[in-house]
Chain A
Amino acid sequence: QSVLTQPPSASGTPGQRVIIPCSGSTSNIGSNYVYWYQQFPGMAPRLLIYRNNQRPSGVPDRFSGSKSGTSASLAISGLRSEDEADYYCAAWDDSLSGVVFGGGTKLTVL
């Protein structure tokens, strides 16, 4: 059971906008930044969003992050087939003194 809660799956058609939610608590999302990672099968994770809503260089602006209270979300607009991957949210947890991850959301592009 992951500390951060994500739906196990999400899907959309090409060009659509998809939102992946991430729910936490006051000790993690509520008091710290949220990060999002993208992982393709057999590959290492890749940083997608940092500090709630910032994109590293090289990440398309189709990807955006937001945070409100103890929840966060990743939005992918203009969905493309190459976006099919697993997505994880993460945050520091003050009570656990460690990083907590969501269980991951497998995105399928129909």
Chain B
Amino acid sequence: EVQLVESGGGLVQPGGSLRLSCAASGFTFSTYTMNWVRQAPGKGLEWVSFISSSSNTIYYADSVKGRFTISRDNAKNSLYLQMNSLRDEDTAIYYCARDQAPGWHDYWGQGTLVTVSS
């Protein structure tokens, strides 16, 4: 059974940093591209970042470019999102999602809540 479990969310002050993790199981993690997608309270889905299976290709949404860094450790079946210079508008539930193809998120984690507030 495919499972994606996010962790690392919490309360952080504006300008602070946080590192999210996503532990994958039930599939060959190293062969799939992965994404982070977020959802602000009461709002819609917003794609954040994409990483290819070998980390050769990485994309970011303009809203996080230069502040967030996506990475993965295929040996540990884990996906990460390093978030720096956090802003109030980064407050959201952050989901990791497995890709079959760009945009085709076939499995999602349960999400981890990040709250940026002073």
Q: Enumerate chain A interface residues (CB-CB to B < 8 A).
A: 2, 32-33, 35, 37, 39, 44-47, 50-51, 56, 86, 88, 90-92, 96-104
Contacts and interface: CB of A to CB of B under 8 A. Distances in A.
Contacts of B62: 96
Given A2-B44, A33-B101, A45-B45, 17 more contacts: A33-B103, A35-B104, A44-B110, A45-B108, A47-B105, A56-B106, A88-B45, A90-B45, A90-B103, A90-B105, A91-B103, A96-B62, A99-B47, A99-B50, A99-B103, A101-B45, A104-B45
B46 A44 contact: no
A33 B104 CA distance: 9
Max chain A C-beta neighbours (<10 A), residue from B47, B59, B111: B47
Contacts of B47: 90, 98-101
B109 A44 contact: yes
Interface of B is mostly: strand
A92 B101 CA distance: 9
Contacts of A56: 106
B44 to A, nearest CB: 4
B108 A92 contact: no
Contacts of B11: none
Interface of A is mostly: strand
B97 to A, nearest CB: 8
Contacts, number: 64
B105 A37 contact: yes
A33 B103 CA distance: 8
A91 B102 CA distance: 8
Contacts of A97: 59
Contact of B102 (A88, A99, A104): A99
A100 B100 CA distance: 16
Contact of A44 (B50, B104, B106, B108): B108
25 contacts: A33-B101, A33-B104, A39-B45, A44-B95, A44-B108, A44-B110, A47-B106, A50-B100, A50-B104, A50-B106, A56-B106, A86-B44, A91-B103, A92-B102, A92-B103, A98-B47, A98-B60, A99-B35, A99-B102, A99-B103, A101-B45, A101-B47, A102-B44, A103-B44, A104-B45
